[in-house]
């Protein structure tokens, strides 16, 4: 019976969702499991993660299991990777949902996340370089980020064309978008995309968004369920958008 259960599990597509005990991550797990995906729900807090899995099972979603994961802990990451390899032998879908706000902002500050015209990075040369997927390399991305950190420490962000409102948050998002393109080019057989779920009502903002977690999860789930799809793109909710 156990061998048959393991066989059924490995036959299904397998997904890992990080930061998944609440909010968008939990809703992504629910929608994936509702579509026949075997979901590994991860969270830093074991108690909260197990409670989330039990809540999903109460709604008839049995193909969801918990595994502890702290995405900032290399040992925790290795333990998860070993678990997936041992129990499933593969990973079909990875949703990097876990986030760390790192700041306390009010509702008015949240409105400033985008500059007029949608230009998060005012510096034209930096913006063009980060957008050039053909020539951008990981080493060059590291150099650009180091330049930002130096300017941040020297209080010269505005002089060199960096954003001055929630600057670290904005630059980190742009860097993730750029790194998505680097990974997509490095691994052409994978589909690697970056998704902006919209301003969702979750604890991280704190509940000041406009969309429900269900609405915020639709974009990531749509891309995860594509049998073969685009790669290296930035999606604004469910539509491909400019970088």
Average pLDDT over all residues of the chain: 88
pLDDT range class, residue 121, cuts 50, 70, 90? confident
Q: Is the pLDDT of residue 101 over 90?
A: no
For residues 148 and 166, give the distance between their C-alpha atoms in angstroms, rounded to a whole number. Answer: 13
Active site members: 169
175-189 pLDDT tens trace: 999 999 999 999 999
Structure tokens at 129: 């370089």
pLDDT range class, residue 4, cuts 50, 70, 90? very low
195-210 pLDDT tens trace: 999 989 888 777 778 8
216: number of Cβ within 10 Å? 27
Say if CB 158 and CB 110 are below 8 A apart.
no
| pLDDT confidence of residue 114 | 47
| pLDDT confidence of residue 240 | 94
Place of tokens 């490095």: 186
């Amino acid at each position: 019976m156990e061998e048959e259960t393991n066989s059924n599990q490995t036959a299904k597509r397998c997904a890992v969702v990080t930061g998944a005990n609440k909010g968008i991550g939990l809703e992504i797990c629910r929608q994936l499991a509702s579509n026949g995906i075997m979901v590994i729900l991860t969270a830093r807090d074991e108690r909260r993660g197990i409670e989330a899995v039990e809540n999903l099972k109460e709604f008839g979603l049995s193909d969801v299991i918990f595994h502890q994961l702290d995405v900032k802990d290399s040992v925790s990451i290795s333990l998860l990777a070993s678990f997936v390899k041992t129990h499933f032998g593969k990973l079909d879908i990875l949703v990097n949902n876990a986030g760390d706000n790192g700041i306390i902002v009010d509702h008015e500050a949240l409105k400033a996340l985008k500059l007029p015209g949608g230009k998060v990075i005012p510096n034209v040369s930096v913006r063009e370089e980060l957008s050039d997927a053909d020539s951008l390399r990981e080493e060059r991305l590291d150099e650009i980020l180091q330049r930002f950190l130096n300017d941040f420490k020297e209080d010269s962000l505005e002089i060199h064309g960096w954003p001055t409102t929630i600057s670290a948050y904005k630059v980190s998002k742009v860097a993730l978008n750029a790194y998505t393109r680097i990974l997509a080019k490095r691994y052409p057989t994978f589909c690697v995309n970056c998704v902006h779920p919209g301003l969702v009502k979750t604890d991280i903002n704190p509940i000041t968004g406009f969309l429900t977690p269900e609405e915020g999860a639709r974009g990531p789930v749509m891309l995860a369920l594509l049998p073969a799809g685009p790669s290296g793109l930035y999606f604004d909710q469910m539509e491909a958008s400019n970088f």
